[in-house]
Structure 1
Amino acid sequence: MNAPTPEFLPGSLVAARGREWIVLPGSDQQTLRLRPLGGGERDESLIYLPLERQTVQPATFPWPTVAQARNHSASQLLLDALQLKLRSGAGPFRSFGNIAVEPRAYQLVPLLMALKLPTVRLLVADDVGIGKTIEGALIARELLDRGEIQRISVLCPPHLCEQWQRELAERFHIQAVVVRSNTADRLERDLPPGTSLFHAYPFTVVSLDYIKSERRREAFQRFCPEFVIVDEAHTCTQAGHGRQQRHQLLKGLAADNARHLVLLTATPHSGDDEAFFNLLGLLRTDFTQLRDLPVGQRSDLREDLSRHFVQRRRPDIAEWQDTSMFPDRRSAEITYKLTGAWGQLFDDVLAYARELVERSEGQALREQRMNWWAALALLRCISSSPAAAVNALRTRLQGALGNAESAEATSLEEFEAQATDRVLDGTDDDLSSDDLEPGARTEDSQRLETLMASAAALAGQQNDPKLAKVQEHVALLLKEGFQPVVFCRYIATAHYLAAALQEKFKSATVRAVTGELTPDEREAAVDQLGDSESRVLVATDCLSEGINLQGLFTAVVHYDLSWNPTRHEQREGRVDRFGQKAREVRSTILYGEDNPVDGAVLQVILRKAESIRKELGVLVPMPDNEGKLTQALMNAVLLRKGTLNAQSQLDMFGEPAKEIDLAWQSAKEKAKQNRSIFAQRRLKPEDVLPEWRKSATVLGGDAEVERFVSRAAAQLGAPLQPIKRHFKLMTEHMPSSVRERLAAEGLSNTLRIDFHQPAAQGATFIHRTHPLVSVLADTLLEQALDDGVATADDAAVARAGVAFVQGVALKTTVLLLRIRHQLTFTHGSQTRLLMCEEAVAVAAAGAEPFTELSPDMTRQLLGSEATRNMPAPLRDRQLQTALDALPECQPQLEAIANARAQALLADHRRVREAAEGRGSYQVTASLPVDVMGLYVLLPDSTASTSAVGA
């Protein structure tokens, strides 16, 4: 591609087709990519120079005129419109103008760490709910906007594909396609032969289960994008066949030393050292040596690892003064007793389960294991609900877990794997999402029919003490203003519970969401609940990952205990996470105080995990050796006779409980050791906050968006109408030209909008990159630049003005400048031109030269109120004098622009320390600068001596 001619470099102005344009990156000697001077991204055009009838000429930006003078109060509106229109902002981060989320300062740590690496290799292991998705996508967006990458892939479990696609589109303006078995063929159908969809579609979200097979893995490695995010990276370690395939995939991707790789996981170390060091080896192969190196020889390698590994828990966020982003979590336990007929049924089922195990002794291994799993399925389901128990008693074990007639060891292994997934909860790196009740019927007998009939007859509040207790608790939560999610283990329990709660709480909306629904249907069902003021969601663990619930719910009730503490944390993390507006969330565990199954799980597993978490500040995964310890514990429950008493928990459940306790102790000590070994030189707030504040200042945040939209809507004839926690905007009252632009963006009639995230139910979050902001800013800027627009004095954007104000001691001239910079990124033989824009205010008090104003001083001067009216002749005379002086000030303005270019270069070099390893930057100011506004501020008689210019 030929280089553009000098006058047509990105950022320069040209005149073509009767109007002025800004030249954009991507132009060359024959084709210009242009944006109208007052237009937005949707107004961009391509001009093919050989076909133009009139020669495209360099142009200059028109200065303000006396005719464009308006009330001083309208000057700040121009500043806001100009600032919020910036997409290629000139702050230290290129991406901040292109995202629809305001990152918290602590979320910039992975980004800054990434920018210090020549090739990004990062393991982000932050706690559940802190915002790993934002952190990972922010790195991708930044490198994209810096011109260092062009293609991105996100690899994730299949159930997270849509969530990633939505997050990338809504928050980062990256339009990605989902690639998995049911979409890949459609995406490839219209591509030319031999074309990889990963070239045709630069942004993809890829199912790990789809891409891990050997054939697809090799093809993906050949055409893989240069930047890859891997979510739930702990599932890609070398343990188990599926995970081994995933690990081979990532190992192949990591073999390309130029490929950027960001691994995301809340559980980097699930108790398996080999799995953990396999993850570290994806960052750099020599990091695996840390496992075997003597303590005294680890320091250098540990120091290197600290640049690639970041892990924060909730307490770590406190030093960032961002604790307000997370609610206080109040946890409680409530109990019920197995009384009356329900208690008798439980005892009968327990006795039958015990007989199943005892009578299989001496039989073949297959019969022993089948009876054991049938007994365990019965215990799990009877502890859940009568509905789950009925399904378990009705369904044949072999039919539910697969027909395993063969006695071959492999078939037995398959049977064991399926049974483990259906009955237990899986391991920390592969938690089960199967919520269908396991079959427990191994025979046809009158006893089974009697048990089934008894279970069916006991359904209902009067006969089910567990249901009665949760109804009582949900009533309390609703009364106190909480919106609860009630988690169950099985589908039948969820429907049984939802029906009972809906009958109990007729004024609330209750909905069950289970694995019967597709991911899209689950999301739609959750969203529908938001239409109700009082709502209860009953869900299985199909919702404990993937869908964020913090916008609609504020409490979690564990109706069924999970047998894995990580699952409890995941459930609570759906509600207690970044973006939760409530200051307090509730978490409640419900269990049967005389239920031996609940007792074993609570005492030996969950409470031990919680005590370690409180001690270390880290959730230590359960040390379960592929479920063997849990199985042994449940075996002790089956074989132990008599009721629960006040014995110690270790005596209560015998040797298995002691083994689990020893395993917990070992896991705790290992976690302590790992936190010591991998304690990193974390970036501190003082390293990050200045960069964060600088970017927020350059582009404007939520407060600036709300102020601008409120004032702009009012001046365009449609003032915002407050409704509870959000606003109503009636676009039908706006001018027809604005309505047409909004309609083209899908915005028409009455809009419900919110300026804070998560948005109020039924409202749309309005951020600086939302089309509403762009349309309003474009409209007002066009009005400001058009001399012919006839508007009332108090309903316009001011490009010029004169006012008596307090706060100045001398006559002060303020210029609002738009400065464009050409940013050249060179890497090897490739050079890419980018464009940056920034809004800068400068002021000259009295006869002093112009100097740059701080953002705060700019707001103070342009936002000040005029203290008294000024006669039009005096206003015009003052303005004309200032305009006449502008040509002499051009050298000053150019010097300021060149200084800003050097500051921008320093910003880029500072945050991208590794730039020399990847390439180099150059920044050149596009001259002359655009004088957007000129304002003369005259001192009022009451001005103080501390005023500007004193």
Structure 2
Amino acid sequence: MTTTAAEFLPGNLVRARGREWVVQSDGHTTDGALRLRPLGGADADVITLLPELEFNPVEHASFAPPDPAQAGNHAAALLLRDALRLKLRAGAGPFRSFGNIAVEPRAYQLVPLLMALRLPTVRLLIGDDVGIGKTIEAALVVRELMDRGEIQRVAVLCPPHLVEQWQGELQQRFNLPAVALTAASASRLERQLPHGVGLFDHHPVVVVSLDYIKSERHREHFLSIAPECIVVDEAHTCSASGAGKQLRFELLQRLAADEARHLLLLTATPHSGDEVAFFNLLSLLNPAFVELQRRVSKDDPLRLQLARHFVQRRRKDIAEWQAATQDGHGFPRRMKAELTYQLSGAWGSFFDDVQAYCRELAEATEQSGSTGGARLIWYATLALLRCVASSPAAAAKALTTRLEGRLAAGDEDADDDGFTDLHDGTAEDLTSLDLEPPAQLQGQSGTQRLQALIAKAEKLSGAAGDPKLAVLVTHVGQLLSDGYAPVVFCRYVATANYVAGELKKHFPGAVIDAVTGELAPEERRERVEHMGEADAAGGRVLVATDCLSEGINLQHLFTAVVHYDMAWNPTRHEQREGRVDRYGQRAPEVRCTMLYGQNNPVDGFVLKVILRKGDAIQKELGVLVPMPEDRQRINQAMVKAALMKRPTGNGPQLGFDFDEPEQLLAPLQVQWEDALEKARGNRTVFRQLGVHPAEVLPEWHKQQEALGSQADVQRFLTSACARLNAPLERHHSQYRLHTQHLPQPLRLRLADEGLVPEGNAKPLVLDLDDLHRSHPVVSLLAEYLIETALQGESTLAARCAATVTADVDRITTVVLLRLRHQLSYQQQKASFQMLAEECLALAIRGRQAPEWLTGPDAARLLESVPAGNLPREAAQREVARALEALQAERPRLDALAEQRATALRHDHERVRQATGRRIGAGAGQHQVQACLPVDVVGVYVLLPDAV
């Protein structure tokens, strides 16, 4: 008799090819095949078979009860429970994806996910502040939609410097293998595609560089193959004015025109004072939202509709959430400080000489009447004085690099374009060059005056001649002494290499390295990772240029930021600090220090007119409002300030009279105030209303109860390794696992995953804080323990035990159940079928008129402290009696499974439900059916201690 795939539903237990399998959610393929996972196996062991072609028919199977002869001890019982729970991938609870992710999201990060599940087509603008975790929030939505079967393909559009970060986050945290589509990789990816197969059919998850799809040919091709879900990071760069940005916006408009396409827009600055750009973003969610530009009533129905699509939280808002949810994993305190140094002695003399040199060139150019020459002098003055303020190395580099050819004398746009590498990027583009700007004018290279300046700069290197470096050395020493690991941000490559070299001389015991734009992006990442792997007992210091102010997260290794060179843009300072002070930072406090020259007119002007203004706005509003762009005015003001004579005494830094340069920037300051007012008004009008802590907490707790927390992962790992004769060994902030002591089958599996060090001589180094349930080490340990327990090969993780304990006052049987449910629902007239599994502890107190307990009270009994173990014969007898009594209660077990199925249906309907009403065609039509009979995985008898 043959069987067909239609006879089996997700969650069914079947027997095929001599073993038991569980039918998967995608168990029915279009060709009538079945996808099956081994009963105790992993996702990697899933097979696909055609029932009609099997020699022996596929049959429904039943789960064998525990064998009293295989009784173990109580610690082995808890180990099996933890292994079962951590191996759940399609875990019960309100979300389908949490078993497949390697991150433990915070409660506030579930808000966008809940908002997404309440929309028939997901259109969200996530405008959370820097470092809150927008990437995680968006990836949670994507993973959930994929695990529900509602999408199969997704593209992430982002700036080129974020491609690798997105690719890594999706792979490492969300188990979504992604490929990068960039100008460099496109041809290779196309060549590797099988004949006749499209990119997104072969690679369901693709991270696309926005630079790649700039050209019309690439843009049109992407539009023709674009998947059903699009994520856009740094979305504000696609909505502002400018030719390149306008093309990006048109691309998004055409993508959004498909009303069935899911669209997630991410930006830390959804509104930066540019009204057109802001409402362009809103129009991608719904074209009707453009009308809100003229409608500001808080009770406007259209504004209330927007609240379902737009979420924006500041650090302050997150702190309020954490207080409401009692979530102890808050953001660190950001402690800011300023350090000053004097331009004095040889260094002060050098600065004065450079200023005098610039003035002489300016006077000579002015007398010649050359307009183009004046622009060259502007450039040379700012370049030289900024490099002088940075380091002797940067000053020498600027003085020895010719400026000729950079600014054409007759080019009227040169004022704007020629100064690009002097500035620190705009709000939309923070990837400016870190090479030193050229400052040597044509015809000046051989002058005695210039050669004398270069010689002076070269002699000033080192803490003895460089007062700025001397202050840094003292400060870094204090930070290291206090247990901090700082990132020192420099503006130029020469400065970073100079500072790193000098710090190595002063702190030979510390791990110190430099990362600059000289390195390719992958090399930068590798260098940072290498610092994490090195023995940092003497401290860790990273010296970097702004090539690291975006794209690579530093919060796991570093706890302080030093602005060695002040930025000319407050957004840049926030980006630097946000690399360290962000989601995942475990230190309670992050220190941020800014160095500036007390009598340096350039530093003084930037500090007073730009940075402190930006800081005041951020303190008032809670988010940064980018400085308006007016490069020509800024250049003029900077030159005026740069040529001011520095005070010779020890007066305060802000003792400079910046009246004239401040007047030049007065219109810009007015624009900045206007932007602040608009941002303040929009935060009031568009404040997030839809989801509150009381709505999120039940879902958060249910998910942690169903799948286990990170603390459960750590307990399981330490217990499992100890019982497998390879206890973890503490080493600084990490642990070492000596894999050579593990059983050979487990070693082979670890080796297949590349987790056994070469030659098996070195231990495997693990950071327990970064390990999650889906980490290969955790998965393989759990898989091995479950398999050996179910096959009766070992009692390391025991299916039955009898224990004496003072934690019970009468005989109590704890039953470990595995429940499987068939979950189906409709969304937008499409039907979806899924498998949901859960591990449940049931406690039966007493044997006469027993009392049944479930929930946390029953689960805690598995953590009882044994007072002693029974003799083997007595333990087997107690387990046999418990199994016999349980067999008579099978109807009650089935009824319990039906109750859990009903609860699961309510959970899924609740997260799909909007406030007070259902939305979407067919939303909420969930059906959950328990797969019977229930799997009795473990039976553990607890006997009261007579003492």
After TM superposition, the score normalised by the length of structure 2 is 0.92
* Secondary structure, aligned partner of 1:211: helix
Write the deviation string for residues 470-527 of structure 1: whole angstroms up to 9, x where unpaired: 2222222222222221111111211222222222323333322111100111111222
* 1:435 partnered with 2:434: yes
Aligned runs of 1:177-196 on 2, under 5 Å?
177-191=179-193, 195-196=197-198
Deviation at 1:78, TM superposition (A): 1.6
Question: Amino acid of the residue matched to residue 176 of structure 2?
Answer: I
The 3 A distance-change label for structure 1 pair 259 and 290 is same
Q: What residue in structure 1 maps to residue 502 of structure 2?
A: 500
Deviation at 1:71, TM superposition (A): 2.4
Q: What residue in structure 1 maps to residue 380 of structure 2?
A: 374
Contact (CA 8 Å) 2:841, 2:859: kept in 1 or not? no
Contact (CA 8 Å) 2:804, 2:867: kept in 1 or not? yes
Which stretch has the larger CA shift, 845-854 or 614-623? Answer: 845-854
Q: What residue in structure 2 maps to residue 945 of structure 1?
A: none
Deviation at 1:216, TM superposition (A): 1.2
Q: What residue in structure 2 maps to residue 87 of structure 1?
A: 89
Deviation at 1:177, TM superposition (A): 0.3
Q: What residue in structure 1 maps to residue 477 of structure 2?
A: 475
Contact (CA 8 Å) 2:755, 2:764: kept in 1 or not? no
- Which of 593, 597, 606 is matched with 2:602 structurally? 597
Q: What residue in structure 1 maps to residue 631 of structure 2?
A: 627
Q: What residue in structure 2 maps to residue 566 of structure 1?
A: 571
Aligned runs of 1:482-881 on 2, under 5 Å?
482-530=484-532, 531-533=534-536, 534-623=539-628, 625-638=629-642, 640=644, 643=647, 651=659, 653-681=661-689, 683-748=691-756, 749=760, 750-754=762-766, 756-757=768-769, 765-787=770-792, 789=793, 791=794, 796-827=796-827, 830-845=830-845, 846-848=847-849, 851=852, 853-854=854-855, 856-881=856-881
Alpha-carbon separation, structure 1, partners of 2:463 and 2:812: 77
* Secondary structure, aligned partner of 1:34: strand
Write the deviation string for residues 759-779 of structure 1: whole angstroms up to 9, x where unpaired: xxxxxx332111222222222
Contact (CA 8 Å) 1:849, 1:892: kept in 2 or not? no
Contact (CA 8 Å) 1:75, 1:863: kept in 2 or not? no
Q: What residue in structure 2 maps to residue 303 of structure 1?
A: 304
Alpha-carbon separation, structure 2, partners of 1:708 and 1:458: 57
Alpha-carbon separation, structure 2, partners of 1:679 and 1:912: 22
Deviation at 1:660, TM superposition (A): 4.4
* 1:336 partnered with 2:344: no
- Which of 74, 79, 103 is matched with 1:101 structurally? 103
Question: Amino acid of the residue matched to residue 220 of structure 2?
Answer: E
Deviation at 1:666, TM superposition (A): 2.9
Contact (CA 8 Å) 1:212, 1:245: kept in 2 or not? yes
Q: What residue in structure 2 maps to residue 761 of structure 1?
A: none
Deviation at 1:809, TM superposition (A): 4.2
Question: Amino acid of the residue matched to residue 403 of structure 2?
Answer: L
Q: What residue in structure 2 maps to residue 946 of structure 1?
A: none
Question: Amino acid of the residue matched to residue 773 of structure 2?
Answer: R
Write the deviation string for residues 624-657 of structure 1: whole angstroms up to 9, x where unpaired: x342442232133146557497658663744125
Q: What residue in structure 1 maps to residue 929 of structure 2?
A: 924
Contact (CA 8 Å) 2:818, 2:838: kept in 1 or not? yes
| Residue ranges of structure 2 left out of the alignment (5+ in a row) | none
Contact (CA 8 Å) 2:170, 2:178: kept in 1 or not? yes
Count of equivalent residues: 918
Contact (CA 8 Å) 1:353, 1:376: kept in 2 or not? no
Deviation at 1:23, TM superposition (A): 1.6
Deviation at 1:751, TM superposition (A): 3.9
Contact (CA 8 Å) 1:7, 1:58: kept in 2 or not? no
Q: What residue in structure 2 maps to residue 948 of structure 1?
A: none
The 3 A distance-change label for structure 1 pair 655 and 448 is same
Question: Amino acid of the residue matched to residue 707 of structure 1?
Answer: R
Deviation at 1:192, TM superposition (A): 5.0
Alpha-carbon separation, structure 1, partners of 2:485 and 2:807: 50
* 1:390 partnered with 2:396: yes
Question: Amino acid of the residue matched to residue 401 of structure 2?
Answer: T
Contact (CA 8 Å) 1:818, 1:840: kept in 2 or not? yes
Contact (CA 8 Å) 1:30, 1:50: kept in 2 or not? no
Deviation at 1:188, TM superposition (A): 0.2
Contact (CA 8 Å) 2:10, 2:834: kept in 1 or not? yes
The 3 A distance-change label for structure 1 pair 504 and 781 is closer
Alpha-carbon separation, structure 2, partners of 1:358 and 1:729: 70
Which stretch has the larger CA shift, 663-672 or 832-841? Answer: 663-672
Alpha-carbon separation, structure 2, partners of 1:543 and 1:108: 29
Alpha-carbon separation, structure 2, partners of 1:918 and 1:341: 78
The 3 A distance-change label for structure 1 pair 430 and 786 is closer
- Which of 212, 215, 219 is matched with 1:213 structurally? 215
The 3 A distance-change label for structure 1 pair 875 and 431 is closer
Question: Amino acid of the residue matched to residue 699 of structure 1?
Answer: L
Write the deviation string for residues 95-135 of structure 1: whole angstroms up to 9, x where unpaired: 11000111111111111122122211111122211111111
Write the deviation string for residues 853-901 of structure 1: whole angstroms up to 9, x where unpaired: 11x2133222223434435554444333332334432221111111111
Deviation at 1:172, TM superposition (A): 0.4
Contact (CA 8 Å) 1:705, 1:755: kept in 2 or not? no
* Secondary structure, aligned partner of 1:144: helix
Write the deviation string for residues 800-854 of structure 1: whole angstroms up to 9, x where unpaired: 2333433444433332111111122434564332111101122333344774511
Contact (CA 8 Å) 1:753, 1:766: kept in 2 or not? no
Contact (CA 8 Å) 1:649, 1:657: kept in 2 or not? no
The 3 A distance-change label for structure 1 pair 676 and 4 is farther
Deviation at 1:698, TM superposition (A): 0.5
Q: What residue in structure 2 maps to residue 423 of structure 1?
A: 422
Question: Amino acid of the residue matched to residue 316 of structure 2?
Answer: P
Contact (CA 8 Å) 1:608, 1:664: kept in 2 or not? no
Contact (CA 8 Å) 1:394, 1:452: kept in 2 or not? yes
- Which of 131, 134, 137 is matched with 2:136 structurally? 134
Deviation at 1:932, TM superposition (A): 0.8
Which stretch has the larger CA shift, 546-555 or 459-468? Answer: 459-468
Question: Amino acid of the residue matched to residue 303 of structure 1?
Answer: L
After TM superposition, the score normalised by the length of structure 1 is 0.92
The 3 A distance-change label for structure 1 pair 77 and 7 is farther
Alpha-carbon separation, structure 1, partners of 2:385 and 2:302: 49
Deviation at 1:191, TM superposition (A): 2.7
Alpha-carbon separation, structure 1, partners of 2:765 and 2:508: 30
Q: What residue in structure 2 maps to residue 143 of structure 1?
A: 145
The 3 A distance-change label for structure 1 pair 338 and 130 is same
Question: Amino acid of the residue matched to residue 579 of structure 1?
Answer: G
* Secondary structure, aligned partner of 2:558: coil
Write the deviation string for residues 13-43 of structure 1: whole angstroms up to 9, x where unpaired: 1122222221223334842221222222222
Contact (CA 8 Å) 1:331, 1:587: kept in 2 or not? yes
After TM superposition, which residue ranges in structure 1, 4 or more long, deviate above 6 angstroms? none
Which stretch has the larger CA shift, 135-144 or 928-937? Answer: 928-937
Question: Amino acid of the residue matched to residue 941 of structure 2?
Answer: V
Deviation at 1:360, TM superposition (A): 4.5
Aligned runs of 1:393-412 on 2, under 5 Å?
393-399=399-405, 401=406, 404=408, 407=410, 412=412
Alpha-carbon separation, structure 2, partners of 1:810 and 1:642: 85
* Secondary structure, aligned partner of 2:184: helix
Which stretch has the larger CA shift, 880-889 or 929-938? Answer: 880-889
Deviation at 1:370, TM superposition (A): 3.1
| Residue ranges of structure 1 left out of the alignment (5+ in a row) | 758-764, 943-950
Identity %: 53
